[in-house]
Structure 1
Amino acid sequence: MKKISSPFQASKGSEQLKKPLNLGLLILFGIFFSLIISKSGFTAGIAFAALPFLFFFLYQLFTYPKLGIYSTIFMGFMVNGIPRYVSDAPVGLAIDGILFLTFIALLVKKQKIDWSEASSGLTIVSIIWMGYNVLEIFNPEARSFEAWFYAMRGVSLYMFLAVPLTFVLLKERKDLDLYLNLWLIISIIGSINGLKQNIIGVDSFEQAWLDAGAAKQHILFGKLRVFSFYSDAGQFGASQAHTLVVATILALQSGLSLKRKIFYFTAAFLSLIGMFISGTRGAMAVPAIGFMTYFFMSKNFRVFGGGVLIGGIVFYILKFTFIGQNVYAINRMRTALDPNDASLLVRLENQKKLANYLASRPFGGGVGSAGSWGLRFSPNSFLAQTPTDSWFVRIWAEEGAVGLTVHLIILFYIAIQGGIILWNLPDKNLRQQFLAIHAGTLGIYVASYGNGILGQMPTGILLYVGWALMFKAKKICGLSYPFSKQAKTIL
């Protein structure tokens, strides 16, 4: 007769500690862990404790390489917030490391990888843009190779690495769903954290960051510009506006379950609040342009006309009335439409200075010569001392009129080709998902004129992965889409 085992008699994990060897190893680990903390500090102790988790992650990455894409997206959100809590945390090159390790994981896999999946016009323009940035090493105006190395990562390297990896690894509709779900879930967490900062206040680590100099940009007229766990309020506001566009368009899909609709509308509502409490005026451009793009691409020109009308009413209220003037967020947004706004006048004056400086420098002052990298590596140079504020002004300053022209051609190609791909995509719900990505892209384009958004994290990695998925939309939809046809389009 078979003996029936009782769950109360089953051996538990704690029973293993009765074995002398296991107990001894645990004691040795505790002693070693304590010595590391006492000799090298708390950060080193945490790094040591994290080693088992790191080895487990690497095992999973080399077993399932697409984990690299999703991990990069996660780190894109977190990489700027972690140093506020662990100042010595080695996260600066985390995104680079994950992307390169993903490539290595593909190269060592036993199964043959079909790299022809990456044959796309998007891959070509990624290579062109990376190539131009490599040539910037030889720019005679460049002050520092180290500055180039750090700055070019967000400008071109992440796009160069993420695009082919996405083409090769994310092939199915469920991959698209996971990409969007991960995006919205982390954005919701960011919104809630932002609301906590706005209602309760910042924690001690965030306060220390503000006291170290960030308060100058984040506390205006006694009001906190909320930043959540993002790099700053500008990036938080733009990212929340980006999520607002994507989540709202996703919520308009037909045949959604009630649970899914609640998820999308919750993400949209919280991100709308996040956009306002960030105090980021330029973020308004993302929903303004994003929703207009969606209305046009939806081919319902009655809806498009209605959207234009609503946009006009909102513009009129902000520009020509004082409705909501006592609400800080609305008042802050209203100043974006004031042609005499002091901040706008300073930006225009800086652009005049840059125009004179760059008139004899068609290739710019070198990648990494402006902004925070310029202040770090060449603090006394003209570009380091002249704020660029805008993503496109930064590209112009660092890579010249030639680099800005190349960059804009690439961005216009992505927008136009993406629109062509999606115009007649037969699967309506799949088309709706990609329209969300496409509309958000154009919104970020326009907002990047006022702020340095496009290549910053998490916006940059979300765009690069989204573009690659959009360019293979017909393949995901089950249709053939040969490279030869796409090559003819780009040429």
Structure 2
Amino acid sequence: MEGIKEDTKSFSPYPLLVIGLILLAYALIQQIWLMAAAVVIVPFLTFYIVTVLNKPYWGFITLFTLNYFFIGILRYVNIQNSSVMMDTFIIFLLVCIFLYSLCGGKIPWQRANNKLLYISLVWMIYVFFELFNPSAVIEAWVYTRNSFYNFTLLVLLTSLLLSRVLDIKRILFLLSIFTLIAIAKALIQRYIGFDAGENAWLIRSESYKTHLLPSGIRYFSIFSDAGNFGSNMGMAAVVFMILSFYMSNKKLRYYYRFVSLLAAYGLIMSGTRGAMIVPLGGLAMFILLNKNVRYIVGGAICLLFIYIFFAQTHIWDSNRQIHRMRTAFHPEKDASYLVRKANQKRLAEYMVHKPFGEGVGLAGIEGRRFSHRFTTEVPTDSHYVNIWVQFGIVGLCLHIVILLFIITYSAYLIMFRIRNRELKGMLIAMNCGLWGIMLSAYGNNFFWQYPTGYIAYIFQTFLVLGKSYDNELTGQTKLEPNTNIL
């Protein structure tokens, strides 16, 4: 945006500053609070818009940040149709990209020509045709529209705006900071207590029934629920521990190990038994992808230790969180697991005649706001069951095939095509973390919720475009150890 930059150099902001101060003084004297707020906010908003127009990359960083804290913010700020905010911001970012490109900015449009974007378009077309499902409700489709375009738009934005290896490193580093903030909030909940906003949410949504249990409190931090929090912490534990083995910067290695251990503790605090599969599945995938005997042996030992500790011993059973996590290895004794299986059996009898599903947004208790029917009276309690009920066995198979393609294709790239060691480590970490939450999604309905959905789409794009990032490093034996992340 060279034209914009030239204009701003010759433009003096002082007259506007004086006018702004006069308006602010007038608004305060007259106690016109809305006007005062506008005078303060508008300059910052204008500066931000100009910044994103000149460099859309910062818009993506804003989107990534807002996505992580979106649910936590909504506990304290009552916003109707809050998802429209995210949709609006994505549209704004797309507009900025096109304007930036039209004004001579370099956008690598050729990167949009990739396998994952075409695959996401297939899913988008399938969801669009769900509008013509005989049992569908258009209002439900509209309110759950994110299943229609989020996949495609996030793949497109990631492909265009995060085109360098340094961008991957920045996203992972930012994710580590956000993870620490989420853990800090969970620790506050445990040792200080829930605040007024969280107590109100527990009562309003009746989440106290699933979070304040006789077996112990399930902490949820800034996430939608403890299941989402626990699975994300499990993913973070896997991703950052694996990253620590491949980072050339020694300080960064120790920092990521610290984050990984805290994330594992966050998983335990969540009390989410289904999230236990995340580190186990991630470790198993790490063993499969690795050609380093030392890492394979170390991963296998860790996997065996975790299994023996939880499945074959009663060590620290006095700790409520550990005792609850241990029951994940004995599901036949868990009443809630048996109820879930019974619900799935009931749904199977109903869904046998609905290969394309009941309709978008018409699965689980949350679907009652659109329609009262059998599928909205039976809890789904699983991402895959939720997909099955909404989109039918055809949609479920398509969804699973897409996920498995991403995992297997990226595994092929990692094992046979990626040459740079540090990049390979980042891709292995994301592959293992993604595989872990894919497994956990069977027992928890969180995969498309904030912030998991966006993180998963970004990781998937990095993985499928792994070879293009490796090509950037052609001729280098390793990344520069002193490369700044931020």
Shorter chain as denominator, the TM-score bin is: 0.7 to 0.9
Alpha-carbon distance in 2 for matches of 1:160, 1:22: 42
Given that 2:218 and 2:271 are in contact with CA atoms closer than 8 Å, whether structure 1 keeps it comes out as: yes
The aligned counterpart of 2:351 is 358
1:446 aligns with 2:439: yes
Deviation at 1:47, TM superposition (A): 7.9
Deviation at 1:30, TM superposition (A): 2.5
Match of 1:221 among 195, 214, 231: 214
Question: Which shows bigger deviation, 304-313 or 404-413?
Answer: 304-313
The aligned counterpart of 1:86 is 77
The aligned counterpart of 1:5 is none
Q: Deviations over 1:14-62 (max 9, x none)?
A: xx99x7x66532222335764549xxxxxxx978864443333322222
The aligned counterpart of 1:136 is 130
Match of 2:145 among 139, 149, 152: 152
The aligned counterpart of 2:276 is 284
Q: Calculate the TM-score normalised by the size of structure 1.
A: 0.87
Question: Which shows bigger deviation, 96-105 or 241-250?
Answer: 96-105
Deviation at 1:72, TM superposition (A): 1.9
Deviation at 1:78, TM superposition (A): 1.2
1:58 aligns with 2:49: yes
The aligned counterpart of 2:86 is 95
Given that 2:242 and 2:425 are in contact with CA atoms closer than 8 Å, whether structure 1 keeps it comes out as: yes
Question: Which shows bigger deviation, 307-316 or 65-74?
Answer: 307-316
Given that 1:71 and 1:98 are in contact with CA atoms closer than 8 Å, whether structure 2 keeps it comes out as: no
Label 1:254 to 1:165 Cα distance change in 2 as closer, same or farther (>3 A).
closer
Alpha-carbon distance in 1 for matches of 2:125, 2:23: 52
Deviation at 1:459, TM superposition (A): 1.4
Paired AA for residue 272 in structure 1: A
Paired AA for residue 142 in structure 2: F
Deviation at 1:480, TM superposition (A): 10
1:117 aligns with 2:115: no
Match of 2:67 among 71, 76, 82: 76
Alpha-carbon distance in 2 for matches of 1:136, 1:330: 43
Alignment of 1:182-261 (within 5 A): 182-212=174-204, 213-221=206-214, 223-258=216-251, 260-261=252-253
Alignment of 1:419-438 (within 5 A): 419-424=411-416, 425-438=418-431
Paired AA for residue 74 in structure 2: P
1:384 aligns with 2:399: no
Match of 1:406 among 388, 398, 406: 398
Runs of 4+ in 1 over 6 A off after TM superposition: 45-48
Question: Which shows bigger deviation, 188-197 or 205-214?
Answer: 205-214
Label 1:177 to 1:298 Cα distance change in 2 as closer, same or farther (>3 A).
same
Alpha-carbon distance in 1 for matches of 2:40, 2:130: 41
Given that 1:361 and 1:400 are in contact with CA atoms closer than 8 Å, whether structure 2 keeps it comes out as: yes
Question: Which shows bigger deviation, 210-219 or 125-134?
Answer: 210-219
Q: Deviations over 1:263-282 (max 9, x none)?
A: 21221122111111011111
Alpha-carbon distance in 2 for matches of 1:200, 1:52: 38
Given that 1:474 and 1:480 are in contact with CA atoms closer than 8 Å, whether structure 2 keeps it comes out as: no
Given that 2:420 and 2:473 are in contact with CA atoms closer than 8 Å, whether structure 1 keeps it comes out as: no
Deviation at 1:305, TM superposition (A): 4.7
Q: Deviations over 1:388-442 (max 9, x none)?
A: 0110000001100010011111111111111111113111011101111111111
Label 1:382 to 1:49 Cα distance change in 2 as closer, same or farther (>3 A).
farther
Paired AA for residue 27 in structure 1: A
Match of 2:28 among 27, 30, 53: 30
Secondary structure class of the residue paired with 1:403: helix
The aligned counterpart of 1:320 is 312
Alpha-carbon distance in 1 for matches of 2:422, 2:473: 19
Label 1:329 to 1:100 Cα distance change in 2 as closer, same or farther (>3 A).
same
Label 1:116 to 1:337 Cα distance change in 2 as closer, same or farther (>3 A).
same
Given that 1:245 and 1:436 are in contact with CA atoms closer than 8 Å, whether structure 2 keeps it comes out as: yes
Deviation at 1:103, TM superposition (A): 1.4
Alpha-carbon distance in 2 for matches of 1:47, 1:318: 56
Label 1:140 to 1:228 Cα distance change in 2 as closer, same or farther (>3 A).
same
Given that 1:250 and 1:436 are in contact with CA atoms closer than 8 Å, whether structure 2 keeps it comes out as: yes
Query: How many percent identity over aligned positions?
Result: 33
Deviation at 1:128, TM superposition (A): 0.5
Given that 2:406 and 2:463 are in contact with CA atoms closer than 8 Å, whether structure 1 keeps it comes out as: no
Alpha-carbon distance in 1 for matches of 2:203, 2:255: 37
Label 1:28 to 1:254 Cα distance change in 2 as closer, same or farther (>3 A).
closer
Match of 1:374 among 359, 367, 391: 367
Alignment of 1:320-339 (within 5 A): 320-338=312-330, 339=332
Paired AA for residue 150 in structure 1: Y
The aligned counterpart of 1:486 is none
Question: Which shows bigger deviation, 329-338 or 396-405?
Answer: 329-338
Paired AA for residue 188 in structure 1: L
Deviation at 1:151, TM superposition (A): 1.9
The aligned counterpart of 1:10 is none
Alpha-carbon distance in 2 for matches of 1:91, 1:33: 29
Given that 1:72 and 1:461 are in contact with CA atoms closer than 8 Å, whether structure 2 keeps it comes out as: no
Q: Deviations over 1:274-332 (max 9, x none)?
A: 11101111111111111221122111356435533442343233223322211111111
Given that 1:290 and 1:440 are in contact with CA atoms closer than 8 Å, whether structure 2 keeps it comes out as: yes
Given that 1:151 and 1:367 are in contact with CA atoms closer than 8 Å, whether structure 2 keeps it comes out as: yes
Q: Which runs of 5+ in 1 are unaligned?
A: 1-12, 38-44, 482-491
Label 1:23 to 1:462 Cα distance change in 2 as closer, same or farther (>3 A).
closer
The aligned counterpart of 2:8 is none
The aligned counterpart of 2:9 is none
Deviation at 1:253, TM superposition (A): 1.5
The aligned counterpart of 1:9 is none
Alpha-carbon distance in 2 for matches of 1:47, 1:217: 41
Alpha-carbon distance in 2 for matches of 1:282, 1:266: 24
Alpha-carbon distance in 1 for matches of 2:20, 2:37: 22
Alpha-carbon distance in 1 for matches of 2:69, 2:60: 15
Q: How many residues align?
A: 455
Paired AA for residue 405 in structure 2: Y
Alpha-carbon distance in 2 for matches of 1:134, 1:478: 36
1:341 aligns with 2:334: yes
- CA RMSD across the alignment: 2.5
Given that 1:190 and 1:228 are in contact with CA atoms closer than 8 Å, whether structure 2 keeps it comes out as: yes
The aligned counterpart of 1:263 is 255
